[in-house]
Amino acid sequence: MRSSKFHGRYDSDGRVCEAPGCEEAGEFRAPGGRGHGFDGPGDWRYLCLDHVREFNSGYDFFEGMNADEILSAQSPAAGWQTETRAFRADAGVDGMPRWADFHDPLDAIGSRASEIKRAARGRQHEVFSQFTPREREALQVMGLDPKADRSKLRRRYSELVRRYHPDRNGGDRSHEAKLQNVVEAYQLLRRANAFA
């Protein structure tokens, strides 16, 4: 029985270290040639302890960056440069209520809330009006909002197929009707003019 004292050790299951000429068990993961992206996590290489140590000692996070990018990445504020609506001075509100127009401050706040709701309803109707009734139904089947784009549609389709397809969910055929609805909805939406 092997000691599992090293964090990150994976059962090798007969896997051999991927370093050239090494016959040790490949029990430790290292990033492969393809990094993570739209299609999910990237590839992993499995190496023995000695070769993963060698890999880690030669790993350079800053490889390919220029001096300004390195300085920016090392800054304690790295990643905090973008301004979030909630933390702007006006809290993301475009027009403040004129307090002098109201006797009660709560009336001013309620008035502003009503304006925001009206604007949101108008935008929602405008977005929904791009779709036909059948396409709106298909959006509900897919569980998407009307602001979704083509890539979000593809990701959601892939996710639902993995959930409902018998080959992917352990042979459970009780979701075949849902799968059929998802496929039909996707076929309709991928040709929708709203996504053009």
Q: What is the pLDDT, as a whole number, of residue 83?
A: 66
Region label for 13, one of left (φ > 0), alpha (ψ between -120 and 50) or beta (otherwise): left
The H helix count followed by the E strand count for the chain is 6, 2
**H/E segment holding residue 29:** strand 28-31
Q: What is the pLDDT, as a whole number, of residue 76?
A: 78
Residues 153-196: tens digit of each pLDDT = 888 888 888 888 888 777 778 888 888 998 998 888 888 877 65
Residues 54-107: tens digit of each pLDDT = 988 887 878 888 888 888 888 877 766 666 666 665 655 555 556 566 677 677
Higher pLDDT, 16 or 89: 16
Q: Quickly state the pLDDT bin for 22 (edges 50, 70, 90).
A: very high
For the question of whether the overall pTM of this predicted structure is more than 0.75, the answer is no
User: Quick check: 1 pLDDT over 50?
Assistant: no
